[in-house]
Chains A and B, each alone.
Chain A
Amino acid sequence: MLSFDNAAVSIKDLTKTFGDHTVLKNLNFDIPRNKIVTILGFSGAGKSTLLKHILGLLQPTSGTISVLGKDLSHMDRMELREFRRHFGMLFQYAALFDSFTAIENVAFPLREFTKLTNKEILEKSAGLLDSVGIDPISHHKLPSELSGGMRKRVGLGRALALGPDIMLYDEPTTGLDPITTNMVNELIVSTSMQYADRGMTSIIISHDVKATLRISDYIAFLHQGMIEEYLPASEFHNSTNKLVQEFINL
Chain B
Amino acid sequence: MFFLLRWVESLGATIIENLHALGEITLFAGRFFYWMVKPPYRFKLLFEQLYFVGNKSIFIVCLAGAFTGMVMAYQTYFGFKLISVDSLVGPVTALTLAKELAPVLTGLIVAGRAGAAMAAQIGTMKVTEQVDALEVMGINSVQYLAVPRILASVISVPMLSALFLFVGNIGSWLVGTKFLSIDEAIYLSKLGEFMFLEDIWQGLIKAFFFGFLISVIGTYFGFNVTKGAEGVGKATNLAVVWGMILVLVLDYFLTSFLVHIL
Interface residues of A (CB under 8 A from B): 55, 57, 81-85, 87, 89, 91-93, 95-98, 108-109, 112-113
B138 and A82 form a contact (CB under 8 A): yes
List the B side residues contacting A85 at CB < 8 Å: 137-138
B136 and A84 contact, CB distance less than 8 A: yes
Q: Does B181 contact A (CB under 8 A)?
A: no
Q: How far is the CA of A89 from the CA of B138 in the complex (A)?
A: 12
**Contact assessment for A91 and B133 in the assembled complex, using a CB-CB cutoff below 8 Å:** yes
B136 touches which of A87, A93, A97, A108 (Cβ 8 Å): A87
A residues within 8 A CB of B140?
Answer: 81
A112 to B124: give the CA distance in the assembly, Å.
Answer: 22
Determine the residue in chain B with the shortest Cβ distance to A89.
Answer: B136
Q: Does the CB pair B129–A93 fall under 8 Å?
A: yes
Contact present for B133 and A95 (CB under 8 Å): yes
Instruction: Flag if A95 contacts B138 (CB, 8 Å).
Output: no
* Min CB–CB distance B43 → chain A (angstroms): 14
Interface size bracket, B side: 10 to 19
Q: Does B245 contact A (CB under 8 A)?
A: no
Are A95 and B129 in contact, CB atoms less than 8 angstroms apart? yes
Contact indicator A55/B124 (Cβ below 8 Å)? no
Contact A95 B130 (CB under 8 A): yes
**B137 and A91: CB pair below 8 A?**
no
Question: Can you list 12 residue pairs at the A/B interface with Cβ under 8 Å?
Answer: A84-B136, A85-B137, A89-B133, A92-B129, A93-B129, A95-B129, A95-B132, A97-B130, A97-B133, A98-B124, A98-B128, A108-B137
B139: CB under 8 A from chain A?
yes
Give the nearest-CB partner of A86 in chain B.
Answer: B138
Q: How far is the CA of A147 from the CA of B218 in the complex (A)?
A: 31
Q: In the complex the two chains form, what is the Cα distance from A96 to B139 in whole Å?
A: 15
B129 near A109: Cβ-Cβ < 8 Å: no
A201 to B67, CA, bound (A): 64
In whole Å, how far is B227's beta carbon from the nearest beta carbon of chain A? 15
